[in-house]
Amino acid sequence: IHVAEDVKPLLIELKRIGNNLNQITAKINAGAFRSYNFEDMIDGQKKIYEQLLDIARKG
């Protein structure tokens, strides 16, 4: 699979966000805390997806 160079940083960031979500979910399920505000994380993902769409449209 060939991945364009300008997409790689975005994919890396998406992977990091996914890892963070998994860690937060595990802690919530373990009872470490009761809830988490996902708004910032969701906003960040939306920005990354928008950038990926822009690249795909140009590509």
pTM for the predicted model, two decimal places: 0.58
Are 55 and 14 spatial neighbours (Cβ–Cβ below 8 Å)?
A: no
24 closest CA partner among 14, 11, 10, 34? 34
Residues listed for the chain: 59
Rounded CA-CA distance 34/28 in Å is 6
pLDDT in tens, 11-56: 888 888 889 888 888 888 898 877 777 788 788 888 888 888 888 7
